[in-house]
Amino acid sequence: MLRGMVDADASRRRRARLRVLGVYAFVLLLLLAARPTPLSVSVGFAIVTLGEALRFWAAGHLRKSVELVTSGPYRYTRNPMYLGRLIIFSGICVMARLPYFANLVVLLVGWILFFGYYLPRKERVEPARLARLHGATYERYHAEVPALFPRSSPYADVATRGWSSDRFLRNREHWMAAGLIGLSLLLLWISYGEPGGLLGRLLNR
């Protein structure tokens, strides 16, 4: 049983590394192909800021795989980090405008994959694992708090723990925020450059 748990943990880490590599590859391709305008960057950045603010809030409460977190944004949604990521993805797609508005196609495909595959798969696996760890407390939380889109009122049986900078740093959300600021500045710089975007600049050197 112990070996099975170790193998499962190693498998999760491999999948996580592959997801990170996939994100980096996606962002690189998007940067090379992007034809942003100052307006698209401004609107997209506002959306990205909203998503990162949610993740910023959630990261200060989250302690992965250790305790059931029901404070902060977890009073309204069970997955504020994923909701924030979805909002950020949407904002990046708006910022990184592509020829023929292909960025909107990328956005639609991303939403389809998220709602059609990723979120259903997570909901099949994660609740069972957390129910084993936290029992009836989690089952009550799961029944009352939606998986993604927030409920209108906060969950009543809430922990009193406040936002923690230590948890925020442990979750490494500051690197996410720094990366998004850098990406936004780069897209803004591209938007004031040559019509061919970053790829055009590299080819014309």
Question: pLDDT tens for residues 101-132?
Answer: 899 999 999 999 999 999 999 999 899 989 98
Q: Using one digit for the tens of pLDDT, what is the confidence trace for 48-88?
A: 999 999 999 999 999 877 788 999 999 999 999 999 999 99
The total number of structural domains that make up the chain: 1
Mean pLDDT of the residues in the chain: 86
| pLDDT for 3 | 54
Q: What does the CA dihedral 146, 149, 152, 154 come to, rounded to 10 degrees?
A: 50
Kindly list the distances between the CA atom of residue 111 and the CA atoms of 77, 90, 116, 146, in Å, as whole numbers in the listed order: 18, 9, 8, 18
Residue 86 class from Cβ within 10 Å (0-12 exposed, 13-18 middle, 19+ buried)? Answer: buried
pLDDT greater than 60 at residue 7: no
- Which amino acid, residue 68? L
Give the Cβ contact number of residue 75 at 10 Å.
Answer: 21
119 lies in which domain range?
Answer: 2-203
